[in-house]
Amino acid sequence: MFPRLDADASSLVSIRSYYEVRALQAAYYGWRWSKTLEPVHELEDTKDTEQPLPTVVSLQSNTEDTAKDADKSAPSPLSCCYETSFISPSGSVHYSFFIPVHFRRQGVFSRLIELRRSLYTQQPVVTIQECNLASLLSKHGLPVISLDGDLRIHASPAYALISSQYGSKRARRTNIFYMHHIDEGLLVMNWRGCSELAQQAYAIHPLLQGDAELLEFEAWIEKHHIHPKVFILAMEYRRVANVYLSPKTVDESDVFELSCLQEVNEMLVADKVQNFKDFLRCHAGSHPERERLDLYFRNWLKRLGVSMHQFYSYKQKLEEITQ
């Protein structure tokens, strides 16, 4: 089972898994992942020539055999490196590359940079601060685009905290990373124009929702420099959300209060949209309580003023990124 963000990935399958997570983060900034990886051509920069590109390896495949076959066909360490691309909001194409862990410290990075210098100068590599790649590329005289510059959400203390606590944990029933709930919820909030502090509060809301979690959280506030308003919003979210937590009996006429703070209600929108999307994907046809849970989510969305048309629009946009 692969870690959520395996910086030491060594196979095509694990590298693909890494980029699937990065695609969610990139989508927040309006970037779209191509969903393909290409082995790096070892002799020349084929993207600047008339020669055909190396075989494209689709990321839709889930087999280890694909990774093994790709690795067997590679004649050199450089050819075992992979490039992928991201499309910016304006439509320009930018590249990203991944050097498998067992080919690092062999001069592969320098060879790759020289091979792609012209391309990476014209179309700067896109990265995220967590990768620690920007400074390395700059030292080699190359421009770079950092998606989460200026301390945007993925570089915030709140996101760092939830990432450290969730790590690579997965849901037992669905095998989906816990962090997907955060990343996809943040996308919904971003699409709805929510404030960054509200988004940070959403990011940490699982760390305060239960009593045991709340007792632990006190020690993290100062250590992780959590903004006071972020804590206030997360606590108000806890109060409102815990009032209507999937009761044993659900009726269309159920009445429950929302928050006096609209930012908290937006956090609830993100939470229910994301959870309902995963419920429909993983449990709608099999969960023993599916009818009750389906109505539960619909009650929340109705109370929050989110129409089913809006919900399915968000659901489609999220699935276009993740599937």
DSSP 40-84: PPSSS-GGGSSSPPPPPEETT---HHHHHHHHHT--STGGG-EEE
CATH number at residue 231: 1.10.3210
Sign of CA dihedral 270, 271, 273, 278: positive
Which pLDDT value is given to residue 210? 81
Using the structure block, give the residue that is written with the tokens 């889930």: 62
Query: Are 110 and 171 contained in the same domain?
Result: no
Residues 265-287, mean pLDDT to the nearest whole number: 91
Query: Are 133 and 214 contained in the same domain?
Result: no
Q: What is the pTM of this model?
A: 0.84
Which structural domain range is residue 47 located in? 12-146
Query: Are 207 and 247 contained in the same domain?
Result: yes
236 falls within a domain: yes
User: Taking a C-beta distance cutoff of 8 angstroms, is the pair 2, 10 a contact?
Assistant: no
Is 25's pLDDT higher than 90? yes
Instruction: DSSP letter for 248, please.
Output: S
- Tell me phi and psi for residue 219, to 5 degrees: -75, -15
Which pLDDT value is given to residue 43? 44
Query: Are 99 and 174 contained in the same domain?
Result: no
169 falls within a domain: yes
140 falls within a domain: yes
Is 281's pLDDT higher than 50? yes
Query: Are 90 and 68 contained in the same domain?
Result: yes
Which pLDDT value is given to residue 59? 36
What tokens does 97 get?
């590359």
Residues 248-258, mean pLDDT to the nearest whole number: 84
Which pLDDT value is given to residue 56? 34
Query: Are 167 and 260 contained in the same domain?
Result: yes
Query: Are 282 and 184 contained in the same domain?
Result: yes
Better-predicted residue by pLDDT, 96 or 323: 96
State the chain's maximal CA–CA distance in angstroms.
68
276 falls within a domain: yes
Query: Are 283 and 170 contained in the same domain?
Result: yes
Domain end among 146, 178, 207: 146
Query: Are 166 and 313 contained in the same domain?
Result: yes
Query: Are 94 and 176 contained in the same domain?
Result: no
Q: Which residues contact 90 (CB under 8 A, 6 or more apart)?
A: none
Instruction: DSSP letter for 304, please.
Output: T
Query: Are 287 and 179 contained in the same domain?
Result: yes
pLDDT in tens, 206-216: 999 888 788 77
Domain end among 146, 164, 184: 146
- Tell me phi and psi for residue 243, to 5 degrees: -70, -35
Sign of CA dihedral 249, 186, 3, 282: positive
3 falls within a domain: no
Residue 323, class by beta-carbon neighbours within 10 Å (0-12 exposed, 13-18 middle, 19+ buried)?
exposed
In sequence order, which ranges of the chain are alpha helices (DSSP H)? 12-28, 64-72, 108-122, 134-139, 157-166, 178-191, 196-204, 211-223, 228-241, 262-282, 290-303, 308-322
6 falls within a domain: no
User: Taking a C-beta distance cutoff of 8 angstroms, is the pair 236, 167 a contact?
Assistant: no
Residues 198-207, mean pLDDT to the nearest whole number: 96
- As for how many domains the chain has, the answer is 2
- C-alpha gyration radius of the chain: 22
